[in-house]
Amino acid sequence: MADDLERAILLAYDPGAAVDPALKSQAIAFCDRARREPPSSLVSLCLERLHRPSLSDPVRFWLLSALHEALLSLPPSDLPLFLTSLPTLTSYLSSSPPFIKNKLSQSLSTLITLHYPHSWPNPFLNLLPQLADGPHAVDMFLRLLSSLDDDLLSQDYPRDAAATTAAARVKDAMRVQCVPQIARAWFDVITHYRASDPSISASALDVARRYIPWIDIGLVANDVFLPLLFELVESPEEQLRSAAAGCLLAIVGKRMDPRPKLALLRSLQLNRVFSKHYFVCSLAHLITGYAVEALECYKKLGSDNVDGSSAMELLEEALPSVFYVMQNCEEVDTGNVVEFLSSYVSAMKTPSQKQLVYIGQVLEVVRDQMLYDSTYRSNLDLPDKIGREEEDKMAEVRKDLFALFRSVSRVAPDVTQVFMRNLLVKAVGSSEMNVEEVEAALSLFYRFGETLSEEAMRTGTGLLGELVPMLLSARFSCHSHRIVALVYLDTITRYLKFVQENTQYIPYALSAFLDERGIHHSNLSVSQRASYLFMRAVKLLKAKLVPFIETILQSLQDAVARFTTLDWTSKELKSSGSEDGSHTFEAIGLLIGMEDLSPEKQSEYLAALLKPLCQQVDSLIADAKLQKIEESSPRIASLQQTIMAINALSKGFNERLVTTSRPAIGIMFKQTLDILLQILVVFPNIEPLRNKVTSFLHRMVDILGASIFPYLPIALKQLLTESEPKEMADFLILINQLICKFNGSIAGILEDIFPTVVSRVFNLLPSDAFSSAPKYNTEEVRELQELQRVLYTFLHVMATHELSSVLLAPTCRGYLDSIMQLLLFTSCNHKDILVRKQCVQIFVRLIKDWCKKYNGEDKLPGFRSFIIETFATHCCLYSVLDKSFEFRDANTLLLFGEIVVAQKVMYEEFGDEFVIHFVSKGLPAAHCPQDLAEQYYRKLQGNDIKALKSFYQSLIEKLRQQQNGSIVFR
């Protein structure tokens, strides 16, 4: 069978063999059958074959894999079967390729895990003498120790409880039996092979590094081992240098109580290594690890004792090297070092003069680490995919750096201010600072503002009074670059509160926004950002800008003129984005909309702006009447931008100014509205234009007040030409605004449009509830759901703004039944609890509006009986009896409160008529005991609504327990 097995292994697993697929399948099946042999038989077979000299490596690997699996289930009584062959097997395979030796070491590791020390008492003592056989035997032994660490001992990997117990057992046995001998073996191997075979010495160092965390530290941190390690960290062999540094780092990171740990760190005298900068970068992890451990000792020991001071001395010896590593060594993990520096700064409660110097160096590190790579300078100026990725990556890196910067600012505010002053002076005064350095300086100054109080910002505390004026007048040689220009604008915006208080600097701030550093910057994204930030500046400074309005308008003249001289075929127009310029017009509107301006000047400025914009619209409309213009045409994009500009301009004006104090302004906006409403007539089906005109109409409702009424019929008529769900929802939102603004005054207009609105909405909405199945989660369904939600708001707004009479108008009454049934169904069943609450509130208002107390003549015959017999029973009783009505939910409790209010209102309006039906018929039908029904009636008669709500909730919970299924709720 053995020969057959060897052939089968080669047919099945030799990657270089070209084998017929059917034959390969047979070979694999044969190998699998062999693997299913009893463990003892399989071990015997594998051991016998593994000693044959003619075996190929694929066969050896398969046999070792099978052996490893068999050993997992080999009974302890059969263990000698393997152990007697082990010495010759390890010797025989020690010169095999690495993957063969690794597989053997994995098998040995498994045996140690399962059987050491009880069934296999001395594996290490048996293997140690073999090290004298030469490098192959040493290599095999080191691989075994590495495999054992990987599979069991290392705490770097998550282990289950059984593995943790096994690891503790093996470690305890090794400590008692053989760890000192193994440590001595490491030393001998490292010493013996450091010159003849450095890779073996490096492997021994790596194994020592793995075991140091749990062995007696004195076995390596001693007068024999440490000198060897320090020799090797200065070795010309990079492999040895790195491995020795790893051992030292493991010694440094050994878990210990702070005082013994401090003694250990002191004994290492690592400062002798740190001072040699010519190879410090190769020891970066050791340097930062040592600093972290020294800091931990300091934090645990405290600063008010000798040991704490000693820990700080060790730390400060390492800090210069930490700074050097951060600024000069690419391979260092900057994230870990930044975390260490943050911890260091946080530990400095009242820093000494020496520590303040170090904190200053921390700021230098922060600045250096946040510099963009100059390789990407052009990618960042006109951002492409690479540039955007670089910005995203840097934004992530800077999160921790800015957090560290804020910590330094809190601990050492004076040092931070001096650092910022030096950085800004250099950036402003030196033509040698490049794009990346200037951007970093400005970004830090921007973040510096986050650390200041509003009072400090306003008064210019400390050096701020010098730095902000310096910033405002700065013109950097690299200001044309996008990332510099953008952060500059954001930074001056952050410090505008200082300008607000110190108005002599307003001209400087205005220049920064308006000249080539801002709105007139050559980069479009900078120009647009400047427009937005300038608008924010105007909002903040307001009346203080009145003396500068003329200057501002002259500076913006070309930006404004661009809207009336657009080349409709221009590629720039197509790519510039529809938001282009709207913030500029909003800023101008805020400026010229102030009453501090004389009426004459205000009218002059507004006319000068509106006239060319309206002419632009007129021209486009005239062209459209002569020839059809497609929705994708640049002319449509131009028209959108013009409407947005006018809309933005109007945001600076309010209703009192436009309609009362300066009606001439109102006339101008009415004329503009007249022109823009023509767009709805000429372009009835172009959605983006409809949206923009609707948005402007919202603004005009706000500022023209009741004087907009003559314009509403044509506007609403044109907006109702479209019947798509989204357009209908937008239309209802406009109507809701009109109702909230004008209340009953809008009744006549509402009566005219109500039948059309309701019929179209009902035609669009499905007759049954929306399905929650994933396949129905489409854009179309979401638009219908939004329309439904807005419809309920529309009916609620009507009911709560004295417009319920519209529903009773002859032209509207035909829709009443459908509306009542919809409101009833929704108040009982809708998934959105807040929508249900809205519908209950609507019913409450209609009861108050349409029903006379007790038996008077109602406005709507039959409504009273519908409320008492249907609404009260289904909504106020059955819907809350349903177990889906969850009292633990906050929104459901709000709905429940409205339902209780509805009952109280019905009792107040209908008296005994409601009581007879609800208390004498409704509650008994829900199996309510007579005594509880009487208690409910008494609570209903009282004036304590909270007590009524509390009792009714307890009543419902009791009825749920008694309910026997004879009532079908919902």
What DSSP line would sit under 574-633, residue for residue? HHS-TTTTHHHHHHHHHHHT-TTS-HHHHHHHHHHHHHHHHHHHHHHHHHHHHS---TTS
> Amino acid letter at 590?
L
Provide the pLDDT confidence category of residue 649 given band limits of 50, 70 and 90: very high
Cβ–Cβ < 8 Å for 248, 233: yes
CB-CB neighbours of 840 under 10 Å: 24
824 pLDDT more than 90: yes
Question: What are the tokens at 462?
Answer: 């400390």
Task: Give the residue from 748, 822, 749 showing the smallest Cα distance to 787.
Answer: 822
Provide the pLDDT confidence category of residue 964 given band limits of 50, 70 and 90: very low
Provide the pLDDT confidence category of residue 91 given band limits of 50, 70 and 90: confident
858 pLDDT more than 50: yes
CB-CB neighbours of 242 under 10 Å: 19
Q: pLDDT value at position 278? A: 65
Alpha helices in 14-97 (DSSP H): 21-35, 39-50, 57-72, 79-83, 86-93
Q: pLDDT value at position 970? A: 39
Q: pLDDT value at position 890? A: 94
Residues with Cβ < 8 Å from 960, sequence gap 6 or more? 881, 883
Q: pLDDT value at position 1? A: 47
- Over residues 868-912, the pLDDT tens digits come to 999 999 999 999 999 889 999 999 999 999 999 999 999 999 988
Over residues 480-484, mean pLDDT: 94
Residue labelled with tokens 């005991």: 929
Over residues 269-273, mean pLDDT: 80
Over residues 952-958, mean pLDDT: 92
64 pLDDT more than 80: yes
Q: Whole-model pTM?
A: 0.81
Cβ–Cβ < 8 Å for 580, 530: no
Residue labelled with tokens 């109007």: 650
Q: Which of 52-66, 655-669, 793-807, 903-917 has the lowest mean pLDDT?
A: 52-66
Q: What angle do CA 643, 646, 649 make, to 5 degrees?
A: 150
Q: Which of 327-331, 593-597, 818-822 has the lowest mean pLDDT?
A: 327-331
Tell me if residue 926 falls in helix, strand or coil: coil
Task: Give the residue from 725, 831, 722, 728 showing the smallest Cα distance to 784.
Answer: 725
Q: Share the mean pLDDT of the chain.
A: 89
- Over residues 334-344, the pLDDT tens digits come to 888 899 999 99
Angstrom distances, CA of residue 259 to CA of 220, 221, 256, 307: 19, 16, 8, 7
Angstrom distances, CA of residue 725 to CA of 783, 789, 794, 955: 6, 11, 15, 42
963 pLDDT more than 80: no
Strands (E) located in 383-487:
none
Q: Give me the count of residues in the chain.
A: 970
Q: pLDDT value at position 336? A: 85
Provide the pLDDT confidence category of residue 72 given band limits of 50, 70 and 90: confident
567 pLDDT more than 60: no
Could you report how far apart the first and last alpha carbons of the chain are, in Å? Answer: 76
Percent of the chain with pLDDT strictly greater than 90? 62
Q: Which has more confidence, 769 or 299?
A: 299
Chain center to CA of 668: 46
Over residues 100-116, mean pLDDT: 90
Within the chain, what is the greatest distance between any pair of CA atoms? 116
579 pLDDT more than 60: no
Question: What are the tokens at 293?
Answer: 């451990």
- Over residues 196-251, the pLDDT tens digits come to 999 999 999 999 999 999 999 999 999 999 999 999 988 888 899 999 999 999 99
Q: pLDDT value at position 855? A: 61
CB-CB neighbours of 667 under 10 Å: 13
680 pLDDT more than 50: yes
Q: pLDDT value at position 46? A: 87
Task: Give the residue from 217, 218, 219, 194 showing the smallest Cα distance to 204.
Answer: 194
- Over residues 443-453, the pLDDT tens digits come to 999 999 999 98
Ramachandran sector of residue 276 (left: φ over 0; alpha: ψ -120 to 50; beta: rest): beta
Provide the pLDDT confidence category of residue 573 given band limits of 50, 70 and 90: very low
CB-CB neighbours of 540 under 10 Å: 13
577 pLDDT more than 60: no
What secondary structure, in 3-state letters, does 224-282 show? CHHHHHHHHHCCCCHHHHHHHHHHHHHHHCCCCCHHHHHHHHHHHCCHHHHCCHHHHHH
H or E segment and range at residue 514: helix 506-514
332 pLDDT more than 80: no
Question: What are the tokens at 258?
Answer: 């702070």
> Amino acid letter at 7?
R
Task: Give the residue from 857, 860, 849, 745 showing the smallest Cα distance to 812.
Answer: 860
Q: What angle do CA 493, 494, 498 make, to 5 degrees?
A: 90
Task: Give the residue from 268, 252, 135 showing the smallest Cα distance to 203.
Answer: 135
Strands (E) located in 411-491:
none
Ramachandran sector of residue 577 (left: φ over 0; alpha: ψ -120 to 50; beta: rest): left
Over residues 47-74, mean pLDDT: 86
Residue labelled with tokens 């510096």: 448
Distance CA 853, CA 908 (A): 7
Tell me if residue 474 falls in helix, strand or coil: coil
Cβ–Cβ < 8 Å for 323, 361: yes
Residue labelled with tokens 């529309």: 794
117: preceding bond cis by omega (within 30 degrees): yes
Phi and psi of 543, rounded to 5°? -60, -20
Task: Give the residue from 946, 869, 942 showing the smallest Cα distance to 900.
Answer: 946
